[in-house]
Amino acid sequence: MSKSLAKFHFHSFANLLLNLLILGAAGYLLTTDLRETLLLERATDNAQRLATELRGLLNSQQSVVETISRRPEVINALRQGNPLDLQRQAVEIRTQMHQARGAWLLPASIATDRKPPLQFDEASWEFFRRAASGATAMPVEFHAEHYDLFRPVLDENKRLLGYLLISMPRAPLQALVERNISTSAYAELHQPPAGGHSEVVFTYGSRGVTGSTPAISVSLNPLPLTLHYWPGEGRPALLAENRLYYFFLILVAVLSLVVMSYSLYRSTVKSIQHDLMSLANMIRDVRSGSVRKNYPMELDEFASALLYLKDSGRKLIEEKAKLREMGFIDHLSQLSNRRHFELKLSEAFDTRKINGLSSLLIIDVDRFKFVNDQYGHAAGDELIVKFAKALRNCVRQTDVLARLGGDEFCIIYTFTELENARALAERLRKQLPREVHLSHGIVHPLRWSGGLSVMSEEDDKSDDVLARADQALLRAKESGRNSTLLDIPASAPADPPRAVAS
């Protein structure tokens, strides 16, 4: 008498449902806690990355300013104090500094002046006076629409000759921040002014998040600047702090499921083993090409599955017989024919996103027409047969080797990237014999031309890679034959094609 798995599951359904509810609740609380931790870690990483980018931009600009301050022409201009030379040098510096708003070379004596020179705004002048007098050690200071870079200029004996002040726009800094954080987040850049109280000199993003999420502060050492960052994503609605309690709930649910599963296993293992043996017998029969009428089963669910598999197996046997009648083998070379090649190429194309890209090599035997014309078609057929045999001995078992027609052969390097396929093509050219011995003492030099390409994620159909390989083959023939050329898809990384010749 047959049994049913539905009876076993019915008795355990209520217990399973309860445990799933407990497990789901505990999992929800645990994932909420983990989500908050991950959000904080991601926000910290974003803040650190943004701070690093800002520090790198300002440090690179300071490095340029320092390099300029050490130039002999800058030092000589300040030493001589000629206003025209100083102005000319300042114009050159502004040209060299990308996007600079202004540049000034100022003698040391000007720091005591109360009025700024021409084209000096008040904020920049005040910063210069404080920096020159030593009232601030900041080499950079932000203002309303720009920021200034300050550097003293010393001669060879480390004596002060003057100062270099360069005013930079905020546009590059603004673009840098926009690339690194989303508009839903918010960032502020603080600097200590002369009064000693931190002031906001730069903002970006949505200020509304400052009330719902804590700020992450990162110092831009050695610069006297501090970045405050508020992530755009808030905390989870439910806060989970007692993780031990959550893990205890999960443990209780898992133990209960284990006990229930073990009981179910004890009740069904014997019947399942029996039915699996019947299924194995049926599969073995399908492989041998025959299916029996009856395979004894104990479980109703397995019995219905067996009927489906038995029917599918019978159809499979019939389809195999039809395929044998249709034929996928080329009669002359005993390799796969074009129909089988197209089927395998389509399979490789359809599974390329799962199994990886495949490469394709098309081969033409050089001077094949000469053999036919000189020695007759029987010699040409013999050349095809021997070349096919040589190819079969050189390719991998996983590759698909086919004769497309005439003297044209093709190899599908299944799930093989272009670089590995190129190495295989090189190895093939080295392993194939240099000459082939035909009937009646004919010795023909064995030369061949090849075109190699690889499938691309952008291909619309399987024939795209075949077309690229065919184009490469045509170029190989036009360039003198006896070589293999590559045709790389437009989406592939740039890699200059090179020929592989014997």
Q: Is pLDDT at 358 greater than 90 in this prediction?
A: yes
Q: How far apart are CA 180 and CA 203, in angstroms?
A: 14
- What does the mean pLDDT of the chain come to? 83
Q: Are residues 384 and 450 in the same domain?
A: yes
Backbone φ and ψ of 414, nearest 5°: -65, 130
Segment 118-143, tens digit of pLDDT: 677 888 888 888 888 887 778 888 88
Q: Are residues 284 and 348 in the same domain?
A: no
Taken in order 141, 143, 149, 150, the sign of the CA dihedral is negative
In a domain, 162, yes or no: yes
Q: Are residues 132 and 275 in the same domain?
A: no
Q: How far is CA 159 from CA 78, 104, 111, 162, 183, in A?
A: 12, 19, 16, 9, 48
Average pLDDT over residues 278-293: 74
Write down which residue in 140, 172, 204 finishes a domain: 172
Q: What is the pLDDT of residue 501?
A: 45
In a domain, 201, yes or no: no
Residue 38 belongs to domain with CATH number: 3.30.450.20
Among 100, 88, 96, 75, which residue's Cα sits nearest to residue 161?
A: 75
Q: How far apart are CA 453 and CA 456, in angstroms?
A: 9
Q: What is the pLDDT of residue 113?
A: 75
Q: Is pLDDT at 240 greater than 60 in this prediction?
A: no
Q: Where residue 322 falls among pLDDT bands split at 50, 70, 90?
A: low
For the question of whether the overall pTM of this predicted structure is more than 0.85, the answer is no
Segment 464-476, tens digit of pLDDT: 999 999 999 999 9
Task: Decide which of 213 and 337 is more confident.
Answer: 337
Q: How far apart are CA 399 and CA 414, in angstroms?
A: 6
Q: Are residues 364 and 469 in the same domain?
A: yes
Q: Where residue 27 falls among pLDDT bands split at 50, 70, 90?
A: confident
Among 358, 379, 355, which residue's Cα sits nearest to residue 368?
A: 379
The segment with the largest mean pLDDT, out of 85-99, 133-147, 183-197, 431-445, is: 431-445
The segment with the largest mean pLDDT, out of 168-182, 240-254, 258-272, 385-399, is: 385-399
Backbone φ and ψ of 122, nearest 5°: -65, -40
Q: Are residues 291 and 352 in the same domain?
A: no
Segment 147-166, tens digit of pLDDT: 899 999 999 999 999 999 99
Q: Are residues 24 and 74 in the same domain?
A: yes
Query: What's the total number of domains in the chain?
Result: 3
For residue 487, the cross-strand partners are 453
Segment 64-99, tens digit of pLDDT: 999 999 999 999 999 998 988 888 998 899 888 878
Q: How far apart are CA 487 and CA 199, in angstroms?
A: 59
- Minimum mean pLDDT range among 47-51, 65-69, 254-258, 471-475: 254-258
Q: Are residues 4 and 85 in the same domain?
A: yes
Pairing of strands 146-154, 140-142: antiparallel
Write down which residue in 292, 325, 358 finishes a domain: 325
Q: Where residue 3 falls among pLDDT bands split at 50, 70, 90?
A: low
In a domain, 407, yes or no: yes
- CB neighbours of 363 closer than 8 A, spacing ≥ 6? 391, 408, 409, 410, 411, 448, 449, 450, 473
Q: What is the pLDDT of residue 276?
A: 76
Q: How far apart are CA 217 and CA 454, in angstroms?
A: 49
In a domain, 104, yes or no: yes
In a domain, 364, yes or no: yes
In a domain, 293, yes or no: yes
Q: Are residues 317 and 348 in the same domain?
A: no
Q: What is the pLDDT of residue 235?
A: 53
Q: Are residues 168 and 100 in the same domain?
A: yes
Residue 28 identity (one-letter amino acid):
Y
Q: Is pLDDT at 328 greater than 70 in this prediction?
A: yes
Task: Decide which of 416 and 225 is more confident.
Answer: 416
Question: 493 burial class (0-12, 13-18, 19+ CB within 10 angstroms)?
Answer: exposed
Average pLDDT over residues 476-496: 80
Q: Where residue 496 falls among pLDDT bands split at 50, 70, 90?
A: very low
In this structure, are residues 395 and 401 in contact, taking their beta carbons and an 8 Å threshold?
yes
Q: Where residue 36 falls among pLDDT bands split at 50, 70, 90?
A: confident
Task: Decide which of 383 and 118 is more confident.
Answer: 383
Q: Where residue 326 falls among pLDDT bands split at 50, 70, 90?
A: low
Q: How far apart are CA 371 and CA 374, in angstroms?
A: 5
Q: How far is CA 482 from CA 29, 372, 487, in A?
A: 68, 19, 17
Q: How far apart are CA 105 and CA 80, in angstroms?
A: 12
Q: How far apart are CA 254 and CA 55, in angstroms?
A: 50
In a domain, 219, yes or no: no
Residue 483 belongs to domain with CATH number: 3.30.70.270
Q: What is the pLDDT of residue 502?
A: 43
Share of the chain above pLDDT 70, in %: 88
Q: Are residues 99 and 167 in the same domain?
A: yes
In a domain, 191, yes or no: no
Q: Is pLDDT at 299 greater than 90 in this prediction?
A: no
Q: Are residues 320 and 361 in the same domain?
A: no
Write down which residue in 127, 150, 172 finishes a domain: 172
Average pLDDT over residues 392-409: 93
Q: Using alpha carbons only, give the angle 337, 341, 345 rounded to the nearest 5 degrees.
A: 175
Other C-beta atoms closer than 10 Å to the C-beta of 352 total: 19
Average pLDDT over residues 329-342: 91
320: domain range? 245-325
The segment with the largest mean pLDDT, out of 12-26, 85-99, 245-259, 271-285, is: 85-99
Q: Are residues 29 and 63 in the same domain?
A: yes
The kind and range of the H/E element at 228 are strand 226-230
Which residue is associated with the tokens 């990162």?
Answer: 218
The segment with the largest mean pLDDT, out of 235-249, 271-285, 366-380, is: 366-380
